[in-house]
Amino acid sequence: MEKNTIAIVTDGSAILGLGNQGPLAALPVMEAKAVLFKELAGLNAVPLVLNTQKPNEIVKIIKAISSSFGGINIEDIAAPNCFLIKEKLKKELDIPVFHDDQYGTAIAVLAGLINAAKVAKKDLKNQNNYFWSWSGWNSNRPNFFINLEPKTWNGNCCFSWAD
């Protein structure tokens, strides 16, 4: 395979809107993600649904196949396992490891914030920014927002349950 090929890896433990439905239920989501990689970035992507939800097993499998790929995209793996897996892989692999639920959301929020500031003719460096989240992106927010050098940025985790 070429180094412009990404592995999209999931265990199906956190399928958006569905929760833990297992790897087979996650396959259509991973296939759709592969199409997005191809159409929007020109990257080939291979969906890999793993029949385990044990972080050490997932890391071992990804490490074993990593030489076939230019990058690893971790997708729809529940917290805290997703963070453990990402951190281990980043330390042990020499290819990019991307956690979509964490980085993807942070990038989208950052883009929205930048564009809102442009529309409002505001300088982000002079603004107080507050974020409320109970998600993977919240743990990575500082890495994306630190370069904006805003006056302040504060975040809290909150959650609610719906009946």
Burial 101-136 (b: 16+ CB within 10 A, else e): bbbbbbeebbeebeeebeeeeeebeebebebebeeb
**pLDDT at residue 65 above 50?**
yes
Kindly report the pTM of this predicted structure. Answer: 0.74
* Average pLDDT, integer, range 130-136: 53
Same domain, residue pair 73 and 150: no
Which of 95, 111, 139 terminates a domain? The answer is: 95
The pLDDT assigned to 156 comes to 45
Same domain, residue pair 35 and 62: yes
Same domain, residue pair 88 and 111: no
CATH number of the domain enclosing 18: 3.40.50.10380
- Residue 161 placed within a domain: no
Domain span at 59: 5-95
**Tens digits of per-residue pLDDT, 77-118?**
998 899 899 999 999 999 999 887 777 777 777 788 788 888
- Residue 40 placed within a domain: yes
Same domain, residue pair 88 and 16: yes
User: What is the spatial distance between Cα 33 and Cα 107, in angstroms, rounded to a whole number?
Assistant: 16
